[in-house]
Amino acid sequence: MSTSDITVDQVVLSARNIAKSFGAVQALKGVNFDIHRGQVTTLFGENGAGKSTLMKILSGVQLPSSGELLLNGVPVHIGSTVEARELGISIIHQELSLAPNMTVRDNVFMGREIMGPMGVNFAEEERQCRALMQELEEDIDPLALVEDLRLGQQQIVEIARALSVNSNILIMDEPTSALSAAEVEVLFKVIHDLKAKGVSIVYISHHLEEALTISDHAVVLRDGQMTAYAPRADIDLDWIVRNMVGENFDLGTPPQTRFGPPALVISNLSVPMASGTGLAVDQLDLTVHKGEIVCIYGLMGAGRTELMECAAGRISPSAGDVRLNDRSVAQMSIAQRIDAGLVLVPEDRQRDGLVQTMTVGRNLSLASIRRFTRGLFTHLGAERQIIDASIKEVTVKTDGPGAPIGSLSGGNQQKVVIGKMLVTHPDVILLDEPSRGIDIGAKAEVFRILAQHAAQGMAVVYSTSEVGECLSIAHRILVMRRGKIVAQFTHDTTKEAIMAASGESLVA
């Protein structure tokens, strides 16, 4: 695509021939990218395509290896997020950057506190924070600790912090990955209002159909290069997928396998809500057989996460039993359940799935470390052999086992979390939103890995809030609503039937 196709007076920020290298890895290779005044430019691409790297350069988080940035046609140097903010550029990062032990108010105004004659004007900060939450239609207390909020609410706080800056250019990197359908709808209203005020939006999302509804322009990155550009009128879902990953692409089909005996049996399970009032899971029964793949679909708050975390031992039930291979695990710790063959891939990989200070290899071996230790010593050769095999099996793109886990893309980090649990050779694997924040290519790889293990006899249970993922590898689709399983479908059902059962309507 030639940049001459875009009218110059519509462009507020331009990236010209931007390149970025991390050692031997070239993340960006001469990218040209334009942001249009008062419009949404949607950036598509697989994990590792360079999207987040480009956005970090535009927002001052990283410096390019070469190339230049033009703001309103004038070359600028953006050396830090502070400089970017002074130029009117803000970013909502894909991975939350909140301080969990601080209040919502303090997170929103961190680093740019409102000062008064007696120091920080906490009352004014609280007032503005409440106004932001009202704009986002969220009943979040500004004085609540961030660590006490669910993941979707933390995402709202991240969005509120970016909105509070009153930027001219707002970059949104996966802003809806943890939001409910209702919260997404509110965010899109906010985006519409911002556009009307002349604010330019860069929007990155792996929810392709969702992103199409707000796009004015679409750009596709692939292997660090821009491969396609088109105005909204010229694109559809097939155009995006074709330019991202090529022709004839799908998320897989259920493996043809004969089910074995029950591997996981959940009986009459009730789990209290975190607030202490009401039940997140209400007298639920579920049986999953060896070799079976079960998908649990439901809206935010349906109880999917609480069900999985209770089965894995992370939270306690108020009633009921969980049995693995006809043996109760109700009194077992998390570690004991892992040893018995029941593992969980949690929803929040950054907080619950990875140790950020460890390498890729050490994260992969962490759940099975006792296999390689004798007293105070680790059998490094045996550990390395398992790590290398896991990297190959789950197709992690990395410089090697010694690479920092933070150097990986979101999709590759997710594969590390899954690989870490598969190394333990589980009989049952639970995955809570395994595709959150990863691209369609990485998603297909994850589903391929799960289907392969199911064909070998492992029971797989995954939850999702994306209805399209239900119709991929699952033999059986269960719909949860208000803590109960309210419907059951096979692979040959429709999106409309699944969403109707969840109490949701399909948006055209």
Which candidate, 435, 469, 486, places its Cα nearest to that of 46? 435
Q: Do domains 3-245 and 260-341+427-508 have the same CATH topology?
A: yes
Question: How many CA atoms are closer than 13 Å to the CA of 122, on its beta-carbon side?
Answer: 5
Strands 373-374 and 377-378: antiparallel
Distance of alpha carbon 421 from alpha carbon 353, whole angstroms:
10
Instruction: Supply the pTM of this predicted model.
Output: 0.62
Angle at 11 between CA 8 and CA 16, to 5 degrees: 90
Token pair, residue 307, equals 């069900």
Angle at 131 between CA 212 and CA 52, to 5 degrees: 40
Token pair, residue 77, equals 């140097």
Using N-to-C axis directions, what is the helix angle for 237-245 and 440-455, rounded to 10°? 80
Distance of alpha carbon 58 from alpha carbon 39, whole angstroms:
17
Type of residue found at 449: I
Question: What's the CATH class of domain 3-245?
Answer: alpha beta
Record: fold of 260-341+427-508: Rossmann fold (3.40.50)
Q: Do 324 and 342 form a contact (C-beta atoms < 8 A)?
A: yes
What DSSP assignment string belongs to 372-383? SEETTEE-HHHH
Number of helices and strands in the chain (H, E): 16, 24
3-class state of residue 365 by DSSP: helix
| Beta carbons within 10 angstroms of residue 502's beta carbon | 20
Per-domain residue ranges for the chain?
3-245, 260-341+427-508, 351-425
Distance of alpha carbon 487 from alpha carbon 480, whole angstroms:
7
3-class state of residue 88 by DSSP: coil
Q: Could you read off the pLDDT tens digit of each residue along the chain, which spans 508 residues?
A: 433 343 434 899 999 999 998 877 788 999 999 999 999 999 988 767 888 889 999 999 899 999 999 999 999 999 998 899 889 998 887 667 788 899 999 999 998 889 988 899 999 999 999 999 988 888 899 999 998 887 778 888 888 888 888 789 999 888 877 677 777 888 888 888 889 888 899 998 877 778 888 999 999 998 888 989 999 889 888 888 778 766 555 678 888 888 999 999 999 999 998 777 789 999 999 999 999 999 999 877 789 999 999 999 999 999 999 999 999 999 999 999 999 999 999 988 777 878 888 898 888 888 777 776 666 666 677 778 888 888 888 888 888 888 888 888 777 888 889 988 998 999 999 999 888 767 777 788 889 999 999 999 999 999 987 777 888 899 999 999 889 999 999 988 887 788 778 765 443 3
What DSSP assignment string belongs to 155-187? HHHHHHHHHTT--SEEEEESTTTT--HHHHHHH
Phi-psi region of 29 (alpha: psi -120 to 50; beta: other; left: phi over 0): beta
| Beta carbons within 10 angstroms of residue 507's beta carbon | 10
Q: Do 159 and 136 form a contact (C-beta atoms < 8 A)?
A: yes
- Give 295's strand partners: 462, 477
